[in-house]
Amino acid sequence: GNEVNGMMDERVFVSLLGIGSAIIDNVPLVAASMGMFPDAMDANVWHFIAYAAGTGGSMLIIGSAAGVVAMGMENISFFWYLKRISLLALIGYFAGIGVFLIL
C-alpha cells in the first residue's frame, strides 16, 4: 500500500480521516488506511485512528449507524442535527485529539 510517511504529518492525516468519517462510514476508511502505516497494529497511531474514525462519525448524523437509526426512531432531521449538535461534536472531536496528543 501507499505509505503516508513523507507526504504529510500522520497526525494531520488521521485527523482528516476522522473528519472524513463524518461523511463516509468509518469501517472502509480504517480498512483503506491499513496499508498506509508501517507501524504494528498495536502502535499509538492505530489507537489514534480508532478514536478519530469512531468519534469523527458523530459530527454528522449520517456518519454513524447509530445516527442513522436515531434519525428514523426519533425523527431527527439532518438539518436539526447539523444546526444543534454538529458544532458541539466538532469541538469535542478536536478536544479529544488534543488530549490524545498530549498523553
pLDDT in tens, 10-66: 889 899 999 999 998 888 888 888 878 777 777 788 889 999 999 999 999 999 889
Q: What is the DSSP letter of 102?
A: H
Q: What is the DSSP string of 30-97?
A: HHHHTTT--S-TTSHHHHHHHHHHHHHTTSSGGGSHHHHHHHHHHT--HHHHHHHTHHHHHHHHHHHH
Range of the domain at 92: 10-102
Write down the pLDDT at residue 38: 74
Q: Is residue 3 part of a domain?
A: no
**pLDDT average, residue stretch 69-84:** 97
| Residue 36, in any domain of the structure | yes
pTM: 0.82
Supply the pLDDT for residue 1. 43
Q: Please check whether residue 2 lies inside any domain of the structure.
A: no
Task: Indicate if the pLDDT at residue 2 is higher than 60.
Answer: no
- Distance between alpha carbon 30 and the CA centroid of its chain, in Å? 9
Instruction: Please indicate, yes or no, if residue 1 is contained in any of the structural domains.
Output: no
As for how many domains the chain has, the answer is 1
